[in-house]
Structure 1
Amino acid sequence: MLQTQWQAFIAQFVALSRRQRLDSVEILSGTPPEQAAVALIERTAQARLCCPACHSRHLHRHGQANDLQRYRCVPCGKTFNALTGTPLAHLRHKALWLQYADCLLSSDSVRKAAQQLGIHRNTSFRWRHRFLALAKNDRPRCLHGITEADELYLLESEKGARHLRRPARRRGGSARQRGISSEQVCILVARDRTGQTVDFVTGKGQLTKQQLLYCLPPVIDRDILLVTDGHAAYSAFARETGISHQAVVNLRAGIRVRGAVHVQNVNAYHSRLRGWLRIFHGVATRYLPNYLGWRWILDARRILSAETLLKATLGEFPHLTVT
């Protein structure tokens, strides 16, 4: 290659995306980019490879199919591959999965991701929720210290449903009833001062003590200080569980902060969540847990690369430093 051609070639690297640069490194190292995802899948599966039917580790190689090594279980005779039993089983175009994971980390819409990868929008939508099926579960096991809790309400959405259970309305419309009603879905968010966050879709209408008793005890320490607004359900929950509780917000009295005791962190998380959801022009209520998990992936910055996200989709999560 002539020097002028080389300089023109190098100048084009500035316009490459992160994924394209990584693919270039793979080419230089001798690994074709279309094999990168398959190689990562095989490496991830090796650590815990066992029969999905009887969980035996007594296996034999049993040929190859769809670019993946197949295995045969000696005790039960079942055959399987590295994707069997995972959310990515039976999906095609493995060579595009790392690029699609990059699209998820960039919060791209279904159509934008489909256009970038040259796939159908229905394929892009299917991949989105397959990739988030397990990755959304990468959450802190327990909240400590001062823990703020507050609820967020979103208008129920049946986006994508073939048969509506209510009269149709314009997307992003308003509820017919004033205040909080069964037309709205409650999202409970609890967040400690280290930034560890858990959230739950509790159902339609106002938050209740029973919902708090179901959601919070498994994910909070008994010696935490629970800080909330003046909602009566939190006080009733704290009395029944014996958890220390302070209600610091009284909007009627204009009180939002009492020294270091406030709910500003969880309210800021609510604000970031609402702003991020606007990208998608409406989210179907039945998929809300997936989107909440997706938002946590981005907000916590525990998954920063397409490779880590693909591993999480297969069940291998990054090590938790805070539990």
Structure 2
Amino acid sequence: MKALGFAELFAQLALLNQSQRQQVLTALHPAAGLDRVVALIDEIRRDGRRCPDCGCERWHRHGRANDLQRFRCCACGRTFNDLTGTPLARLRHKDKWLDYLAAVLESRSVRAAAKRIDVHRNTAFRWRHRFLHRVKDDRPARLSGIVEADETFLLESQKGSRKLDRKPRRRGGRAALRGISRHLDCILVARDRSGQTIDAVTGRGALKAAQLTTYLLPKLDPQALLVTDANATYPAFARAHGIAHQAVNASAGERVRMSSAGAIHIQNVNAYHRRFREWLARFHGVASRWLSNYLGWQWALDGGRVASVEQLLRIAFGVINR
């Protein structure tokens, strides 16, 4: 539209009634959402932009496609855009991304989110795990000071699978074996007193010292004091790696005791377990294969750590293309 025609049209906006203004806003909302998300993508990728194929930082602009600027690598000649090689590549309806991320921050179900932004429920489910793919990796580098660690268990689920490796259970059902068995997913959570948290789905059944070496040891400060329950796996792990360790015997009624290092308890990590279970209940069961994504989602929301769609979109990119 020419500038003169736009000026005349813009001058008439003041003459619109409330219903007409709402219609104009509704018509402009998708375009405004698209412009906003494209600008955010450019801002996020601008400083670290490089060829996803060879890693070269020398490139030049090479036209536009699918509402995004394309680039050509000066070294290998490959073309790419800011989504190439990311979990968000080839996702459509960019104008609805920020509205969808708002639904993620509100912990809406797949069907509720799909209805809100007017997409198919399969699209909403696919978007959920594309956007959460890197969120689960957004974790602190180290836990220091007094570090509480404990495991919790959820019934394994093959929800959505076309073929099961066991007999189907009615509406989730119960584990076929009593106690801690191969029918339960083990979730390890470690949390220091500053609120920094790491978690991992270690596998099926009881926690093993080798799993602690894999998931906890790289994140544990050498000077940290590890506080756990009376599970024998933890002292064996601590002795093997020279880590200071204190145990709380909750089964004997011990909750808190004082020491020179401070209060010895695992109430922070147990409270985190409780919040995670209460939050997860709204989804009426999740498949084991996606459990790590839900752990990342809960960590992003816990305590209001991620409070805006822009921040969530930045985490979804992570260190992609590096």
User: C-alpha displacement at 1:250, in angstroms?
Assistant: 3.4
User: C-alpha displacement at 1:42, in angstroms?
Assistant: 1.6
Equivalent residues of 2:58, 2:73 under 8 A apart? yes
Instruction: Tell me whether 1:264 sits opposite 2:267 in the alignment.
Output: yes
User: C-alpha displacement at 1:209, in angstroms?
Assistant: 1.2
Equivalent residues of 1:171, 1:282 under 8 A apart? no
The residue number in structure 1 matching 2:316 is 313
Structure 1 pair 216/2, CA: closer, same or farther in 2 (3 Å)? closer
The residue number in structure 2 matching 1:235 is 235
The residue number in structure 1 matching 2:116 is 116
The residue number in structure 2 matching 1:284 is 287
Q: Unpaired runs of 5+ in structure 1?
A: 13-22, 318-323
User: C-alpha displacement at 1:300, in angstroms?
Assistant: 4.5
Which is further off, 99-108 or 301-310? 301-310
Instruction: Tell me whether 1:67 sits opposite 2:70 in the alignment.
Output: no
Structure 1 pair 71/2, CA: closer, same or farther in 2 (3 Å)? closer
Equivalent residues of 2:33, 2:98 under 8 A apart? no
Q: Unpaired runs of 5+ in structure 2?
A: 1-12
The residue number in structure 1 matching 2:4 is none
User: What are the within-5 Å matches in structure 2 for residues 1-323 of structure 1?
Assistant: 32-251=32-251, 253-259=252-258, 260-315=263-318
**TM-score by structure 1 length?**
0.87
Equivalent residues of 1:209, 1:236 under 8 A apart? yes
**TM-score by structure 2 length?**
0.88
For 2:142 and 2:63, locate their aligned partners in 1 and report how far apart those are by CA, in whole Å: 44
Give CA deviations for 1:137-160 in whole Å, capped at 9, x if unaligned: 111110111111100000000001
Number of residue pairs aligned between Structure 1 and Structure 2: 300
User: C-alpha displacement at 1:205, in angstroms?
Assistant: 0.6
Equivalent residues of 1:249, 1:257 under 8 A apart? no
Name the amino acid aligned to 1:105.
Answer: L
Equivalent residues of 1:44, 1:316 under 8 A apart? no
User: C-alpha displacement at 1:177, in angstroms?
Assistant: 1.1
The residue number in structure 2 matching 1:17 is none
Identity %: 55
Please report the RMSD computed on the Cα atoms of aligned residues, expressed in angstroms.
2.3
For 1:288 and 1:72, locate their aligned partners in 2 and report how far apart those are by CA, in whole Å: 38
